[in-house]
Amino acid sequence: MIRRLKSLGSQFGSVLATLFGLSVVTFMIGRVMPVDPVIAAVGDNASQEVVEKARLAMGLDQPLIVQYWHYLTQVLQGDFGQSVLTHNEVASDIAHYFPATMELATYALIIATVIGVPLGIWAAVRQDSLTDQIIRVICLAGHSVPVFVLALLALIIFYAGLGIAPGPGRQGIIYQDMITPVTGFLTIDCLYAGDWDAFRDAVAHLVLPVSILSYFSLAYITRMTRAFMLDALRGEFIVAARAKGLSARKVVLNHAFPTIAVQLLTVLALTYAGLLEGAVVTETVFAWPGLGLYLTKALMNGDMNPVVGCTLLIGLIYVALNLLADILYRVFDPRVS
């Protein structure tokens, strides 16, 4: 019991230290960027008097330690400041744009998992065969080709060339603002509203960006599954299972796979966090109105409050999913506890 409490205390302390470091990093981002937040707020044509008044109002004339304390207290209250571009609170903008990013990442993870895990198992079972070589080449291509290249090629081929995919964006113009947001997932909201035409349009706009993100994630999930399975198949318990005369299918699915399921949970959790972060490029190419596009526009225009807010949010997601994966690891793997 004492050992478990010490472990939990150590883990909690590690999380606090990580969050503290994250807050320091995001604070410094707003200070070391070659963009004056005061000029970004008042404009390039503002007089020196206006600039100085704005600097005093924003507290940027105070020592860094004081500025950091004010920043930390605001963040703990969920206050990330105001966006210069949208004139809205950053927290409000994040709440508006983040569900679109989550929709992309969630569907991409589901597809990548459903395809990638069986492919990884198949490649491990057929180690060094032609099938294994083909799967490894597919995964290598998924890791080697930049996401923006795949996204641009997809638009050129399927939208501009063949005309079988809709253009960039989350919805066609005719369906804009027709569906009342409930969950933030447009496809689910369309089903909830009973608008099948809008649902089909939303799915059509999802196909290309989700395919790009899922292929990128599939490559990683497949490689990790293959590596885990190869290690499991070398175990003595597998030799014993085969010696009992069990079929290859039962050996793989009933004996080998359960031993790697917990490891896969960690991989999937971190992959999901990576999708939420990596959607920035995909959203920019497909003009997807999510957190990535919001962050890109803010960065290009020197609007630092959204940049800091989005960076902090992504960091928090990484920490939370990593912690969740660690907890699941301890719950489902008795060897750890």
Q: What is the CATH number of the domain that holds 152?
A: 1.10.3720.10
Does residue 17 share a domain with residue 144?
no
Does residue 152 share a domain with residue 262?
yes
In a domain, 85, yes or no: no
Does residue 145 share a domain with residue 43?
no
Q: At what angle do helices 90-125 and 186-193 cross, to 10 degrees?
A: 100
Helix (H, G, I), strand (E, B) or coil at 153: helix
Does residue 253 share a domain with residue 144?
yes
In a domain, 335, yes or no: no
Does residue 18 share a domain with residue 152?
no
pLDDT in tens, the chain (337 residues): 566 556 656 666 777 777 777 777 777 766 666 666 666 666 666 666 766 776 676 666 677 787 778 778 877 777 777 787 788 888 888 888 888 888 998 999 999 999 999 998 888 888 888 888 898 888 888 878 888 788 888 888 888 888 888 878 888 878 777 778 888 888 898 888 888 888 888 888 898 899 988 988 898 899 999 888 888 878 777 777 777 777 777 777 777 778 788 888 888 888 888 888 767 778 888 888 888 888 888 877 777 778 888 888 888 888 888 777 777 777 666 555 5
Dist CA 8 CA 310 (whole Å): 29
In a domain, 194, yes or no: no
Whether 104 contacts 271, CB under 8 Å = no
Does residue 107 share a domain with residue 219?
yes
In a domain, 188, yes or no: no
Helix/strand/coil percent split, the chain, to 5: 75, 0, 20
Dist CA 211 CA 107 (whole Å): 9
Q: Could you tell me the two tokens for 276?
A: 């939420």
In a domain, 334, yes or no: no
In a domain, 171, yes or no: no
Amino acid (one-letter) located at 230: L
Does residue 217 share a domain with residue 141?
yes
* Bridge partners (DSSP) listed for residue 89: 82
Does residue 157 share a domain with residue 16?
no
Which one of 26, 47, 76 terminates a domain?
Answer: 76
In a domain, 317, yes or no: no
Q: At what angle do helices 257-286 and 291-300 cross, to 10 degrees?
A: 50
Does residue 153 share a domain with residue 119?
yes
Domain count, the chain: 2
Residues whose CB is less than 8 angstroms from the CB of residue 213 and which lie 6 or more positions away in sequence, other chains included: 104, 105, 108, 112, 147, 275, 278, 279, 282
Does residue 132 share a domain with residue 24?
no
Whether 180 contacts 189, CB under 8 Å = yes
Helix (H, G, I), strand (E, B) or coil at 212: helix
Picking from 319, 317, 311, 321, the residue whose alpha carbon sits closest to that of residue 24 is 311
Domain interval for residue 243: 96-161+213-301
Does residue 145 share a domain with residue 71?
no
Does residue 109 share a domain with residue 247?
yes
Dist CA 163 CA 152 (whole Å): 14
DSSP codes, 31-79: HHSSS-HHHHHH-TT--HHHHHHHHHHTTTTS-HHHHHHHHHHHHHTT-
**Measured at the alpha carbon of residue 169, what is the angle toward residues 167 and 175, in degrees to the nearest 5?**
95
Whether 265 contacts 329, CB under 8 Å = yes
Q: Could you tell me the two tokens for 334?
A: 């008795």
In a domain, 246, yes or no: yes
